[in-house]
Structure 1
């Protein structure tokens, strides 16, 4: 489960929580500053919050170290359209990263020499793909369901997959380009249904389920793989 803790000084600590530890709480560095924490099942919610408060300094240090390490490393793989593909540095003269179904993501040496620049290029490549794929997909669902959002656009948010506002329209997180098409279908339908119901009431979920058969499967996929879509931050 992906979660977030705000320290007493206002700094946010991002982590994934698993109830799988037998005796002790285990903390490991994750990707891009997201910590992986295993907690014994018997630890209550109140005890967990107290533990976080007591260990803020240690967690902040680990998060900083994880962020620094990630900034200098090329991801081993990236998710694209529901599949995980390797990232490879290649000795050719291509000016931009490329994706090929059989080879994954190919990054020219000239770009890979600077990991900060390399990640920026990869983000831009995927963002461009998201514009070309996700927005038309959202528009198709809007036409199918006969909704007219005020606008459609991409979002760079770190805390939600989509957002719907009556006056500003719908924005999809560009990182959904890494998710399977049917997961994106669910997010599109979810946000469009907010045009009829601005909450998560039973009526809202009934409408969502009426228009997509993938609600539970998509939510499960995002819980299991969602954090991996943020590997480029």
Structure 2
């Protein structure tokens, strides 16, 4: 049986469910966005959803242990700031961004991928961290620090000591999605939970909460094409 679970921050995980466990719930990683869960036959769907909601850190830890297969050949297209760009090779030695195309140096895909990841991470540092700083100033909130993350299981994280980290892959998402993630994490500074007061604050600072969650649900997995 297959189902999906939506984390409190909008991240989607696919679940392959089996009901043959005798007593304990057993989790195993399957892929970057899928876990296999074996539960006792008597566990109801509502009880399972409650268990998942109470064990999100365990789900994330399980996902992090999944193998991350990389594509062997250049993908036809990738997302960049909400627009699909086709990938092509050219004779020059640098990456050239010519919307709706990204031109890569003529080299094996492994080398092209390394260069493209580095290029996109650089754009993410310029764009995402700048947007985060702008929202922080507007909201009069000061994270302990800001940085990018290479996480496989979350779009952003906010901790009191280490500050806010944003997944560099968000450079592929539309600006309104990046803004939502920035505001979501900033709201965790006064509200380190997902209480009604937290969501009220998020929705007060962005009208795009539901649209951003929907976009990430539909296309978030495609932002990992370079892994």
Q: How does 1:5-154 map to 2 (within 5 A)?
A: 12-14=29-31, 67=69, 70=71, 72-90=72-90, 92=91, 94-102=92-100, 104-109=101-106, 111=107, 114-154=108-148
Higher relative contact order (CA 8 A, sep 6+): 2
C-alpha distance in 1 between matches for 2:148 and 2:173: 15
RMSD: 2.8
Deviations 1:183-202 (A, max 9, x none): 11100000000001000011
C-alpha distance in 2 between matches for 1:133 and 1:179: 12
Runs of at least 5 residues in structure 2 that lack an aligned partner in the other structure: 5-11, 17-24, 36-43, 47-65
C-alpha distance in 2 between matches for 1:9 and 1:183: 34
TM-score, length basis structure 2: 0.73
Q: Would you say 1:192 and 2:186 are equivalent positions? A: yes
Deviation above 3 Å: which 4+ runs of structure 1?
8-11
Instruction: Please give the secondary structure, in 2, of the residue aligned with 1:67.
Output: coil
Aligned residues: 183
Q: How does 1:136-175 map to 2 (within 5 A)?
A: 136-175=130-169
